[in-house]
Amino acid sequence: MFNTEDLYDQVGQELLSRRNREFSNDLKMQLMGLPGPVAYQLIIDQFDLDDSIETLQRESDEIFSDLLPREIRMLPGLEQTLSLIESLNLPKAIATSSHQAFATLALAQFDLAPRFEFILTPADVTHGKPDPEIYLQAAQRFGIPPAAMLVLEDSVHGSRAGAASGAVTIAIPGHHSAGGDFSHAHHVETSLAASRVLEVIRS
């Protein structure tokens, strides 16, 4: 929905530069789409840091709170796609790996929260992406079988979660994840407003 991966890059670079470590492209790919605690533990293990998950989370939140209001942007095609879904009276929700405070802050920048039936975050599940739990829970909340649900994802971990849930899954990789393996997805497109995305929504 947003250019969050650009922001995550800046946060990751700042977080690790403070510890004389490098935020590499390979590390970006490993972290993208993971729930925060899992991502921070991976960083701790990879760089043998003495920091706790809580310390990294708190420091990251501070960096984010400064960056987000100034630099967050909606992805191209988001408004068009949301408007189409709404014109068809289809329910929609958010299932994100971002924690609740960040999701709330990001949505508030564009007053988008009222347009969604509900928001699921890592706090609502036991297992984060790529486990399908968050999408299975979304289908349950909607009262539909997962196969009747469409998942739009930009990360490998996220699209794997969608596909594993049984939902129709369209991957829309950004430049951060363009080299990832999306063979599990039903379709791979370059934009939220790609003709195939809109066709699947209409169907």
Question: Which pTM was predicted?
Answer: 0.82
**Predicted pLDDT of residue 54:** 94
* Cα gap 137→120, rounded to integer Å: 9
Vertex 96, ends 39 and 113: CA angle to 5°?
140
The last residue of one of the domains, among 71, 105, 129, is 71
CATH code, domain carrying 59 = 1.10.150.240
Reading the block at residue 151, the tokens are 């998942």
* Cα gap 101→98, rounded to integer Å: 8
Residue type (1 letter), 10: Q
Go through the chain and tell me how many residues it has. 203
* pLDDT at residue 10 is higher than 80: yes
CATH code, domain carrying 160 = 3.40.50.1000
176 and 121 inside one domain: yes
- At 100-136, the pLDDT tens digits run 888 998 999 999 999 999 999 999 999 999 999 999 9
- At 26-75, the pLDDT tens digits run 898 888 878 888 899 999 999 999 999 999 999 998 998 888 889 999 99
96 and 192 inside one domain: yes
